[in-house]
Amino acid sequence: MVLNPYKKFFTLCTLTFTVTFCLQLDPSEVLLVSFDGFRWDYIYKFPTLNFHRLIEDGVYVKQVSNVFITKTYPNHYSMVTGLYAENHGIVANEMYDPVLNKTFSMDTLDIYDSEFWEEAVPIWITNQNEGHKSGVAMWPGSDVNISGVYPSFYLPYNELVSFEYRVAKLIEWFTSNEPINLGLLYWEEPDDSAHLLGPDNPFMSKVIKEVDEKLGYLVAEMKKAGLWDTVNLIVTSDHGMEQCSSDRVIELDNYVDENLYTLVDRSPTVAILPKEGKLEDVYEALANAHPNMTVYKKEDIPERFHYIHNSRIQPILAVADLGWTILQSRSGGYLEGNHGYDNTEPNMHPLLLAHGPAFKRNVTKEAMNLTDLYPLLCHLLDIQPLPNNGSLSQVQDLLASTDPPFLSNYVDPESYASFVGVFLGSVLALAFLLIFIKHVTRSQMSAPEVEHPEITQPLLDV
């Protein structure tokens, strides 16, 4: 194939720039932090100096619309897959899969059963498949062998491991000889305390203050390690929290025989598996049993929940109104604070803060969808997102630049790799330019002989 000089020039330029930017490419680094159960308005209810500093310094999304059901495992898996629960398969903290005939409970070792997690691919795997390294500290699912892969670095889940140790490991992974570009950090508070105390309890002030200090500690450690200006930090949560009351309890035993069904998932969104042939009996018994409990057959679950298309969603779902608790009986585990309610309830929403070279500063956005976090992360990491339910366009206004990372300010000028990349790229560009000039000069001399023989020939005859 013979290219004309202009096509050659274009091809050479493309090659030059590709080589230049491939060498220069220094994908953005990201640290995603989840403080479990951090309700969006805690920062207005309690003194939270470090959260407010981050707001002034970066972007702030007041409320994140999370996925139904507003529980820990479904939402943490949505953050790293961009999928609704019905699509990623972790539909609850407590599950039964009728196809696998297996149960899943966050209170047991069931969570290490890979098959529950393999309906989706979390971002740490996708990141590694593209040649990067991921480091994950206690994020739900991160110590599970998913499709034969673990994170490059991770900590086996142990709630006794301190926040400070988790931070130390992440700093170590970000600053090692073969550094991670993606870090995920999970912390159990303020969720644990709010379940016991209830979010309206005055002692929550101390709990939130401690979480705020944890954030301050993380920022200080990042600064100490020289990561503060280079790593994009995103702080968010999986859900909010609602105050419950022992006066607002719905006891299923008052309405339906417990021998007619299995209770698969617990309050406030209760998954019910009727015994063989008992679906109608159980449904009829519960459908209008209590004014503060809405009962759906699976096929009638509202489309807006995106919570139908998975075999792990049980035939009957009973959803309590905000602040209400559904139990089989009074002996069944009442909590002062809970979440898991309708995901349009503001009290179920977390917030999101972000700081780093990729983000604007001192910008506030009213709301975003939790599923949009995944395409945002992929954009920052410069990796190809898998099919998901989010959209980068919905959160692009948080970014300092809408250009791909390697065309904006992601390249660390002190980075040796970048320097080598730029240098080699420039040399190549110069070399190609010289070749081009030489080629064009030759082409201009010889081209008429090829292209216009009828003109040149008479002249030769003279």
Could you give the residue numbers annotated as active site? 72
Of 82 and 337, nearer to Zn ion (C-beta) is 337
Of 36 and 336, nearer to Zn ion (C-beta) is 36
Q: Which stretch binds Zn ion (CB under 5 A): 105-113, 120-128, 188-196, 261-269?
A: 188-196
Of 78 and 128, nearer to Zn ion (C-beta) is 78
Longest distance between any two alpha carbons in the chain, whole Å = 114
Residue nearest to Zn ion (CB): 72
Cβ 8 to Zn ion, closest distance in Å?
A: 58
Cβ 239 to Zn ion, closest distance in Å?
A: 5
Q: Collapse the DSSP code of 85 into the 3-class scheme (helix H, G, I; strand E, B; otherwise coil) and give the result.
A: helix
357, 229 Cβ separation under 8 angstroms: yes
Which member of 24, 72, 236, 267 binds Zn ion (CB under 5 A)? 72
Rounded Cα distance, 81 and 388, in Å = 7
Q: Which stretch binds Zn ion (CB under 5 A): 87-95, 236-244, 308-316, 357-365?
A: 236-244
Q: What are the CA-CA distances from residue 307 to residues 98, 141, 292, 395 (Å)?
A: 17, 21, 20, 24
Provide the sign of the torsion angle of the four alpha carbons 86, 89, 93, 98, taken in this order: positive
Amino acid of residue 209: K
Burial class of residue 14, CB neighbours in 10 A (0-12, 13-18, 19+): exposed
291, 361 Cβ separation under 8 angstroms: no
Tell me: does residue 238 bind Zn ion (CB under 5 A).
Answer: yes
| Number of residues counted as binding Zn ion (CB under 5 A) | 5
Q: Which stretch binds Zn ion (CB under 5 A): 32-40, 242-250, 269-277, 313-321?
A: 32-40
138, 161 Cβ separation under 8 angstroms: yes
Of 69 and 144, nearer to Zn ion (C-beta) is 69
Tell me: does residue 191 bind Zn ion (CB under 5 A).
Answer: yes
At residue 77, φ and ψ (nearest 5 deg) are: -75, -30
Cβ 174 to Zn ion, closest distance in Å?
A: 25
Cβ 325 to Zn ion, closest distance in Å?
A: 17
Which tokens belong to 443? 């082409």
Q: Which stretch binds Zn ion (CB under 5 A): 126-134, 171-179, 187-195, 228-236?
A: 187-195
DSSP 8-state class, residue 36: T
Tell me: does residue 36 bind Zn ion (CB under 5 A).
Answer: yes
Contacting residues toward Zn ion, per CB under 5 A:
36-37, 72, 191, 238
